[in-house]
Amino acid sequence: MGTAAAARKLASAAAFGGGGLSVLGAGLYGVLVAEAKLARRTIGIITEDPPPDATGWYGRGRPGPAIKIALLGDSSAAGYGVERVEDTPGAHLGSTVAAQANRRVHLREHAVVGAQSSDLASQVDAALATAPHVAVILIGANDVTHTVTPSQSVRHLSEGVRRLRDAGVEVLVGTCPDLGTIKPIAPPLKQVARSWSRRLAAAQTIAVVEAGGRTVSLGSVLGPEFAAAPALLFGPDQFHPSADGYRQLAGVLIPSTLAALGLGPADEELPEAFRGEGVMPVAAAAARAVNVPGTELDGTEVSGSQRGLRGRWVELRRRRRRPGGETESPEESEDGTSPSSEDEGLAETR
């Protein structure tokens, strides 16, 4: 079964309560589960200390009103394994969005190390309380290593995205990375993990777009740089990114975050066919996106209709990564105000 067809079946199972195992085969899924458990034992724990919290203000001295970003998900969003807050994805995201938009940014981190898609509900509750302009979500890898069925994983993600969109929050989801690049997963099961995670990523894409969000593919663990320089871009456990790896992760997310906010560069307003961009049905676009890291999908219309004979129309974009500049340390508050009064100021800017 092709990736597009498999993704449609997984997304459909998530929407209507099916188990989703038929897409992979129960035997194949069981093999992946066993290998995932072995990989978890191999990876172990590199530190019991939580990663630095990237919550705070970025772009000090830049004009307002502030852009409010909520960062949700698992250890990849939290920056597990780094010691400096400047090395976390949140700090890279907040700093670069502030610089490229020339606006103040307040980023609030809700990501939790070890989180699964089922944990998104509580993170969404916390995010909605602060009325962010955009929520960036990274989730899915822990579902694989904890035997969560694909349809359950996609269902939880879809519900979280829909709640955020119903509240008027823009949503960007970085889809499940290619777990076939993880060193503790050895061949031939490495190939199984690659196929499984790509199909999950495609199903996540369909579900997120149907719920009103947009996605960006993380592909082969955030880009070909990881395959070319694993010693540099993976941390000591060979599972989580290193400080340089998290910078690459943020580099994938930032262009699509700006686009979700309506702050993308003027020269990227329209798709460019020579770069492989264009409009197509969501399942076909999702299957294409998993093979090219940084591919963004967002719902669109054709002749005034959101759907064609082959499903939801989407716009496929491959946005350019631009220099991020220096990453800032977050400020706890602006101009010496207390955190509580700062939150009141945030609410007024929305």
240 is catalytic: yes
Which one from 53, 237, 244, 343 is the annotated catalytic residue? 237
Classify residue 345 as exposed, middle or buried by CB count within 10 Å of its CB (0-12, 13-18, 19+): middle
| CB atoms inside a 10 Å sphere around CB 202 | 32
Which one from 92, 110, 133, 240 is the annotated catalytic residue? 240
Classify residue 122 as exposed, middle or buried by CB count within 10 Å of its CB (0-12, 13-18, 19+): middle
178 is catalytic: no
Q: Report which residue type is found at 153.
A: S
Which one from 12, 74, 75, 197 is the annotated catalytic residue? 75
95 is catalytic: no
| DSSP secondary structure string for all residues of 149-194 | -HHHHHHHHHHHHHHHHHTT-EEEEEPPP-GGG-TTS-TTHHHHHH
Using left for φ > 0, alpha for ψ between -120 and 50, and beta otherwise, residue 41 falls in alpha
| DSSP strand pairing (170-174 vs 134-138) | parallel
Structure tokens at 301: 């219309």
d(CA 288, CA 200): 13
Residue spans of beta strands (DSSP E) within the chain: 56-58, 67-73, 105-109, 134-138, 170-174, 214-216, 278-281, 295-299, 307-308, 311-318
- If we measure between CA atoms, which residue out of 147, 175, 171 comes closest to residue 159? 171
Q: Could you give the residue numbers annotated as active site?
A: 75, 237, 240
